[in-house]
Structure 1
Amino acid sequence: MAETGAGSLAEMLDERQHLLEIAQWMFGSELAAEYVLEETYRRWYALDDAERAGIAVPRGWLTRTVGSICLALLADPEHVPSRPSRPPDPVTDLPVRPAGPGRELLDRHDRIARRFAAACQSGDTAALRAVLAPDAIVVSDGGGKVRAPVRPVHGADAAATFVATLLIGQPGAEVALASVNGRTGLVLRRAGRAVAVVSVSVAMAEVTAVWIILNPDKLHRWH
């Protein structure tokens, strides 16, 4: 999956589960496996753009890295973590809304967010593109726990493609309206568990920015 685009959310989650299962199989410990995944993704993001672009099969690279970290820890069992290397990131919502917005602004935000949500729920990419501003951006946060794109996606066409690929038509997934930081947003769930929370910024009658949280540490309260 290219860092400037997006594979499906199912692919990203399946990749993470695949790596987690390898680490759990080698250690029999979910805590140690999570540590291994965190270190694996840290090494991925430590690569520069050219190095990541030169990796033809990222999943293969990540699998080999998980294996090498596991082997190194098994060779030195005292370094296998018995507690989290750091506390989980606090649950935070998406960008903070301006203080004291008027009722009219909130109502407009709600109408536009609902148009965006309806396009996502119906899988209508044309409607999705129509609600996005020409210079719309998409920003995603995997928190080093999901291999989300590093850079924002720019432009209505690219943003619509990104959102459609990431959120629309995921097997067993359900997109629902939710209050995100006091405004209308979306939550995507699979098997009852939140896998993405989405907030939008609006101007006039268009969505100008889409903010997507994918970091599992920030999604606990949404389950």
Structure 2
Amino acid sequence: MSTPPEPGPSLIDGERRHLTNLAYRLLGSLTEAEDAVQEAYARWYAITERRRAAVESPAAWLTTVVGRICLDVLGSARVRRERYVGEWIPEPLPDRTQWPAAPPGAADPADRVTVDDSVDMAFLVVLESMTPAERVAFVLHDVFRYSFPEIAGIVGRTPAACRQLASSGRRRVGAHRRPAPPAPRQASVLRDFKEAWQAGDIKTLVALLDPDAVMTADGGGLVSTVRRTIEGGQDIARYLTYIAGLSPDLTLLERTVNGRPGLVAQRAGATVTVAAFGLTEDRITRIWAVRNPEKLRPWTHTPTHP
């Protein structure tokens, strides 16, 4: 019996978008997601042509490999993040429709990530609280709709154990999920917040912030930023007005961050901070400010106009 022909490169490369979407949600990092996908492709082309031709579903093979790579990365990431300077926040995802076209030939994993509720910063932060196996099982099942037998082959556990892992992850998400106002209302609140911040209007800032609001900043030890979580609307407002006074040359832009209204701070056209927000009703409850320049590389080509 003849060996079936090997899938063509276009078919294999066509899986890259799906794999990048999966890896970003599993890892919370565009850089690590791209590395995981690249490693999976390297392994695919490292096996013999005969073995590749014998693979019944190259897409399933690549997904399994990416899933296992991500599982390993998540295990080591826990150790790395214990040594991380300050707080660790998932890498913010830009909305390319708000930007000018990237330079010809430029390749960026951000271009391949589909924006939906599963990349919302609040959702990604909850995923960070899960064990590696919980996260992989939950994301594969609840976000990408893989069956538990398929997940079992990736995680290396029984389908019943994977079902329990996904259920545990679902409970974590449910415990932290809060109803959010519609996107236009969120954008309106953040516009008022931006204007109050630029004006140093602490009274308005306090009114827009929930009394129990929490702000977390991520500089990775590479740039200056507050290393502790700031709790309470009044303390956050005081800190923000203090920062505004120190940096009068900052330009604040209203941009979509991980599919939600957010703010981007630029200095001389270079992005220095990307802020994602959590809102309940008409008040801001969470601020995640990413300043680590290594996490802001996908924001390089942002426009400079407000």
* Count of residues paired in the alignment: 139
Per the alignment, residue 8 of structure 1 pairs with none
Per the alignment, residue 145 of structure 1 pairs with 222
CA contact (8 A) 1:142 1:215 kept: yes
TM-aligned CA deviation for residue 95 of structure 1 = 1.5
**One-letter amino acid of the structure 2 residue matched with residue 178 of structure 1:** R
Q: 3-state DSSP class of the match of 1:133?
A: strand
Contiguous gaps of at least 5 residues in structure 2:
1-81, 94-119, 125-142, 144-177, 301-306
Per the alignment, residue 124 of structure 1 pairs with 201
Per the alignment, residue 209 of structure 1 pairs with 286
Per the alignment, residue 222 of structure 1 pairs with 299
CA contact (8 A) 1:194 1:219 kept: yes
Per the alignment, residue 61 of structure 1 pairs with none
Which residue of 185, 195, 206 corresponds with 2:262? 185
How many Å separate the matches in 2 of 1:218 and 1:182?
Answer: 17
Aligned pairs (5 A) from 1:1-223: 45=85, 91-93=91-93, 95-96=121-122, 105-167=182-244, 170-223=247-300
Larger strand proportion of the pair: 1
Q: 3-state DSSP class of the match of 2:220?
A: coil
TM-score, reference length from structure 2: 0.40
TM-aligned CA deviation for residue 126 of structure 1 = 1.5
More displaced, 156-165 or 105-114? 105-114
TM-aligned CA deviation for residue 108 of structure 1 = 2.5
Q: 3-state DSSP class of the match of 1:201?
A: strand
More displaced, 130-139 or 116-125? 116-125
TM-aligned CA deviation for residue 147 of structure 1 = 3.5
How many Å separate the matches in 1 of 2:226 and 2:295?
Answer: 17
TM-score, reference length from structure 1: 0.53
How many Å separate the matches in 2 of 1:181 and 1:103?
Answer: 15
RMSD across aligned C-alpha pairs, in angstroms?
3.3
**One-letter amino acid of the structure 2 residue matched with residue 207 of structure 1:** I
Contiguous gaps of at least 5 residues in structure 1:
1-41, 47-89
Once the two structures are superposed, residues 158-204 of structure 1 have per-residue CA deviations (whole angstroms, 9 ceiling, x without a partner) of 01011222245623221111111111111111111011111111111
Q: 3-state DSSP class of the match of 2:92?
A: coil
Larger helix proportion of the pair: 2
**Change in CA separation of 1:171 and 1:115 when aligned onto 2, cut-off 3 Å:** closer
Q: 3-state DSSP class of the match of 1:149?
A: coil
**Change in CA separation of 1:107 and 1:171 when aligned onto 2, cut-off 3 Å:** closer
Q: Which is higher, the Rg of structure 1 or of structure 2?
A: 2
Q: RCO (CA 8 Å, sep 6+): is it higher in 1 or 2?
A: 1
How many Å separate the matches in 2 of 1:165 and 1:104?
Answer: 29
How many Å separate the matches in 2 of 1:43 and 1:209?
Answer: 24
How many Å separate the matches in 2 of 1:205 and 1:103?
Answer: 9
**One-letter amino acid of the structure 2 residue matched with residue 140 of structure 1:** A
**Change in CA separation of 1:111 and 1:168 when aligned onto 2, cut-off 3 Å:** farther
CA contact (8 A) 2:122 2:278 kept: no
CA contact (8 A) 2:183 2:260 kept: yes
**Change in CA separation of 1:179 and 1:120 when aligned onto 2, cut-off 3 Å:** same
**Change in CA separation of 1:186 and 1:92 when aligned onto 2, cut-off 3 Å:** closer
Over 4 Å off, 4+ runs = 42-46, 96-99, 101-104
CA contact (8 A) 2:209 2:233 kept: yes
Once the two structures are superposed, residues 67-125 of structure 1 have per-residue CA deviations (whole angstroms, 9 ceiling, x without a partner) of xxxxxxxxxxxxxxxxxxxxxxx9534715598x9996223222222221221233322
